[in-house]
Structure 1
Amino acid sequence: MVRFDSGRICLDLVATGAQESEQLGSTEELGRWLLGAGLVPSGTPLAGLDAEWPARFVELRCWIGQLVGAELGVPASDATVALDRINALAAAPPPGVRAIRGADGGLVRTLSRAPECGALLAVVARDAVDLLTDPEARARLRQCEGDNCRLLYLDTSRGRRRRWCSSEVCGNRERVARHRRRAAAL
């Protein structure tokens, strides 16, 4: 699975549903995403990960998508319900972390105990609350302008003029399409 880095963990979760195929459809896919997103440190056993976890993360993804969409002017039919659900999840305690000495003697992050689904959901839900209640971060929130691209990201560019999730993918497609339109007009 290729992980899109939007600049926020909650938007990264939303990005898993913006692709052509479901990226959190199995416990293995969710486990890879949790590790790739940094929600659990590398080497953390995910023994408690069961079939319920992907469904709960997909549900949270939908709620965050509705709220973020509403912030960007997209009508959301269940924004109030989504807000209530995200707030309820954000109220749960996140996983406890601690530092231990790694094999090389340096400090590494580990979890205090095996990760629980509710605690990991709380981390993502809190990130959504932080994003949506921070006026500066909210002002940087963008949706890719690429054709058929629904990815969301934070615009951290110097002039805040970023238009695409990826200049190499969506930006390049737009430049090629623009070139073809100009060539066809000649």
Structure 2
Amino acid sequence: MVATAPYDLRFDAGRLCLDLVATVGGRFSEEPVERLDGPARLRAWLVGAGVVPPGTPLDGVDPSWLARFRAARDLLHRVVHAEVDGRAADPDLERLNALAATAPPAPRAVRAADGTLVRAVAGPPDCEELVGRIARDAVELLTDPAARGLLRRCEGETCSLVYLDTSRGHRRRWCSSEVCGNRERVARHRRRVVNGRG
């Protein structure tokens, strides 16, 4: 798996659990892109995705956390894709439910330096609490008929991402218009040029 640059963290799938699945890019390509390539990247993802508020102490994030988040990500990938494909994934659902049973870290309202209230967590969270929060998001998504009905698979040729289509008319075709959509438009243009219609 290829590592990637920090700016490649994505938060455009529409749900926390889907954003975790999106931390592997091009899963079906010859060289999938690993976006969680170290503890620092996992810390950046946890804050960027809103799993924890900025300023949360994450010094305990180490390679064992990375392994647990990657395992949860692969589980979520299987469960979500099975649901989109209309297949049963009951053994994986049992594992997802077990992860979701862990209570997430308790939120607290605290005063920021400017006097406004901001969200914080009481002390450093542990890995299971954070994985549990993401698993709960997946359970909520998969058991909500309206949200589940908005799950779409990206039409990008090598893309494996599933996203929540909240676009007007629900006609979104790609996980990202800037990434997969642009690739498709460039490929279409090249085909027209090669065929003499460009």
Output the TM-score relative to the length of structure 2: 0.87
In the TM superposition, 1:1-186 aligns within 5 A as: 1=6, 2-4=8-10, 5-19=12-26, 20-73=32-85, 79-186=89-196
Farther-moved stretch of structure 1 (142-151 vs 124-133): 142-151
Q: Distance in 1 between matches of 2:179 and 2:101?
A: 38
Q: Distance in 2 between matches of 1:131 and 1:159?
A: 20
1:156 Cα shift?
Answer: 0.7
Cα deviation 1:114-164 (Å, max 9, x = unaligned): 111111011000000011111111111111101211122111111101001
Is contact 2:17-2:138 (8 Å) kept?
yes
Q: Structure 1 vs Structure 2: percent identity of aligned residues?
A: 57
SS in 1 for 2:152: strand
One-letter amino acid of the counterpart of residue 164, structure 2: L
- Structure 1 runs (4+) deviating above 4 angstroms are none
Gaps of 5+ in 2: 1-5, 27-31
1:180 Cα shift?
Answer: 2.5
One-letter amino acid of the counterpart of residue 7, structure 1: G
Q: Distance in 2 between matches of 1:81 and 1:52?
A: 24
1:32 Cα shift?
Answer: 1.1
SS in 2 for 1:41: coil
One-letter amino acid of the counterpart of residue 20, structure 2: L
RMSD: 1.6
